[in-house]
Structure 1
Amino acid sequence: MVQSAIAGQPVDPEVGELRLDRAEDGLYLSATLQFVLPELAEDALYKGIPMFFVAEAQVLRDRWYWSDRQVAETTRYLRLSYQPLTRRWRLNISPVPFTNSGLGVVLGQNFDSYADALSAIQRISRWKIAERDVIESDAVHTVNFRFRLDMSQLPRPFQIGAVGRSGWNLLVSRSQRLAAETVAK
């Protein structure tokens, strides 16, 4: 349990709202996350060390006779960094893991405050998680969504120091069923 910076109230990380939208070209996920970044991670950010997050969505087709079949899986990577000299926050979002090469398709946004940057991380809007052809209209599907702090991309000294310490844990997850479409006759 993490303490809220605003009111001192305990805040359990959770997915406040999860909405699935069928469209002509696929299935879209929108979510509102409610969490407070762990204090150790926030301290590291203010020292100029970027934090990495991973959002994962998995779409399963329900089957009564066997285990559910995975029909789609997608991942989004986020990097939040603080520039102490300019006192600005930068959020990068990418469909592939971040590397030191600097290559790849990345959306970057700048923020003047930590609260604004964290708020942008906590809102996921119309993220395409599956193509239309893999979502069967007459079948029930389950969408498993996870959002977590990615410890594997931290610098080595932080990875070693963070092993087994609950102050670095951040995991938010939720599952939601997508009902079969009803066809009007």
Structure 2
Amino acid sequence: MVACCLAWFPGAAKADPHGASVTQMRLEQADDGIYLTAQVQFELPTLVEEVLEKGIAIYFVAEAEVYRERWYWTDLKVAQAARHMRLAYQPLSRRWRLNVSPVPITNAGFGVSLNQNFDTLADALDGVRRVGRMRLGDLSEIGDAQDHPVTFRFRLDTSQLPRPFQFQIGGLGGQPDWNIAIEKSARLPLEKAK
């Protein structure tokens, strides 16, 4: 009976269809702050790849939050950081462009962002899968306690897709091909940066 109940509830005890996981995550302390480096692994679904090849950009978000544990209340969030990535195919140059920014990337402008060009989709996805030295905050913001929980999340951001795609994805039953989401938790103590 329990197995029937678990099978009935959506999302209960399901494996990730894209093989998504965090294969590497490191927290380190430098003189100017605390940094997170992570490597994620996922397979891009065929449907998403087809959308990309038609010139429609897709967006990924990597987020990290640092908490201070409190015995008398819920944990206090002491720092957070995000990295927004826009991946698009440029048909005229036949190259892939990856924009990386600490703020959401809009069509109105890219703001402060790093732009990289790649010859193949595989190379561009390698750039998306690597989250290098994301600054979480200053040591003074986080505090001197050495045991802080850190939560890292990586996801495909469907909220920035064109409206027809958002409607199709969010419709009845949703589209599991568009559901790439990974989460991993760790704790500070920190490695000292060299």
TM-score of the aligned structures, taking structure 1 as reference length: 0.88
Amino acid at match of 1:178: L
Give me the whole-angstrom Cα distance separating, in 1, the residues matched to 2:25 and 2:129: 12
SS at 1:138 equivalent: coil
Change (3 A) 1:96 1:70: same
Say if 2:32 is the partner of 1:25: yes
1:91 counterpart residue number: 98
User: Between Structure 1 and Structure 2, which shows a larger proportion of helix residues?
Assistant: 2
1:166 counterpart residue number: 176
1:133 counterpart residue number: 140
Give the % identical residues. Answer: 52
Structure 1 residue 95: deviation in Å?
1.1
1:179 counterpart residue number: 189
Amino acid at match of 1:177: R
Say if 2:124 is the partner of 1:124: no
2:8 counterpart residue number: none
Say if 2:158 is the partner of 1:148: no
Say if 2:118 is the partner of 1:108: no
Say if 2:84 is the partner of 1:74: no
Structure 1 residue 180: deviation in Å?
7.9
Amino acid at match of 1:112: D
TM-score of the aligned structures, taking structure 2 as reference length: 0.84
Does the CA contact (< 8 Å) of 2:83 and 2:134 recur in 1?
no
Does the CA contact (< 8 Å) of 2:62 and 2:82 recur in 1?
yes
Segments of 5+ residues of structure 1 without an aligned counterpart are 3-10
Deviations 1:128-178 (A, max 9, x none): 011121122234101111010111100011111111111111001101011
Does the CA contact (< 8 Å) of 1:61 and 1:70 recur in 2?
yes
Give me the whole-angstrom Cα distance separating, in 2, the residues matched to 1:95 and 1:14: 22
Structure 1 residue 99: deviation in Å?
1.8
2:57 counterpart residue number: 50
Does the CA contact (< 8 Å) of 2:62 and 2:131 recur in 1?
no
Does the CA contact (< 8 Å) of 2:99 and 2:114 recur in 1?
yes
Structure 1 residue 114: deviation in Å?
0.5
Amino acid at match of 1:113: T
Change (3 A) 1:180 1:106: closer
2:9 counterpart residue number: none
Segments of 5+ residues of structure 2 without an aligned counterpart are 1-15
Aligned length: 173
SS at 2:145 equivalent: coil
User: Between Structure 1 and Structure 2, which shows a larger proportion of strand residues?
Assistant: 1
Give me the whole-angstrom Cα distance separating, in 1, the residues matched to 2:145 and 2:94: 52
1:62 counterpart residue number: 69
Amino acid at match of 1:96: V
